[in-house]
Amino acid sequence: MQNINEKVAILLPCYNEEQTIGKVIDDFKKELPEATIYVYDNNSKDETFEIALAHGAVVKKEMRQGKGNVVRSMFADIEADYYLMVDGDDTYPAEYCHTILEILRQKEANMVIGDRLSNGTYTEENKRNFHDFGNALVRNTINRIFKSNLKDIMTGYRGFDRYFVKTMPVLSPGFEIETEMSIHALENRFLIKEIEIDYRDRPEGSESKLNTLSDGSKVIMTIIKLFKNSRPFLFFNLLATLFAVIGILVGIPVIVEFAKIGLVLKLPSAILATGLILLGMMFFICGLILDTIAHRNRQMYFLELVKYKERNNEK
């Protein structure tokens, strides 16, 4: 049930979306007439800014290039009770906003994810090569690392409550932001719920800003970086095991030779094996130390979450 005093913000990060932004704004105005629609123009070379203004949105410019930079500014600047973030390319139907908001109002989730993949519409509509493969790779990697079962990690249609928005440090500068938000929610035990949504491909003449290879590599690097930071013991233990196993394999012929003749003739192999095993031990120790630090940082973050709730309850 909607509270008449609640504030809903529609967040539309945009770069060169003059063909679609007007329709997206109108669609959300029709579905949520009381909501405030914010368009953050990320240095568009076309008429995105002017068209968004003409359709009644609150329009601002974000000079730092990249979707992550836009989202960082949006989260910091905009005050609301609930937030809906959607791409400005008209690939996501606005009507799912009611389901997303109701989940947030019922406090069933801090972040609601619009799942494009489960009903097959993304596979049917999307014409870009390797995107299905990339989505599956990212999803399976994150689910394995964080023992989760998310269906769509990189969707651009999401809903958030104020608690999530105002306590998330946005670090990614570009299209890795969706991956970062998903991992942040999993790592810090925010409530997550997914709903199936339809997806439609961009209209003819509207071009995607995604580059499959370069943006895909950035997403993979983001996963590795966040994996290292949030699960340092597992990350460095994997490296320690890898180097130790290689060291043992290199050292076995040396040990066999020494057992037979009492001499070490393969001196380079012996030195290499020793170095690899020592390196593995160093990775293991680094993992132990960094895991202690990460645990302490999580404790401090959770305490900050408690303080944030207390401050807002006082208001």
Identify any residues that bridge with 60 across adjacent strands, giving them in sequence order.
40
> Is the alpha carbon torsion for 142, 182, 137, 246 positive or negative?
negative
With residue 53 as reference, give the H or E element that holds it.
helix 48-54
**Is the model's pTM score more than 0.95?**
no
- Beta strands 158-161 and 82-85, pairing class: antiparallel
For the chain, count helices (H), then strands (E): 11, 7
Burial of 8 (0-12, 13-18, 19+ CB in 10 A): buried
What lies within 8 Å, CB to CB, of 293 at 6+ separation is: 232
d(CA 285, CA 262): 33
d(CA 90, CA 202): 7
Q: How many CB atoms lie within 10 A of CB 13?
A: 25
Q: What is the pLDDT along the chain (315 residues), one digit of tens a residue?
A: 556 679 999 999 999 999 999 999 999 999 999 999 999 999 999 999 999 999 999 999 999 999 999 999 999 999 999 999 999 999 999 999 999 999 999 999 999 999 998 888 887 766 565 666 777 888 888 999 888 999 999 899 999 999 999 999 998 888 889 989 999 999 999 999 999 999 988 666 555 555 656 666 777 887 888 889 888 999 999 999 999 999 999 999 999 988 888 888 888 999 999 999 999 999 999 999 999 998 898 899 888 888 888 887 755
Q: Return the structure tokens found at 58.
A: 């609150």
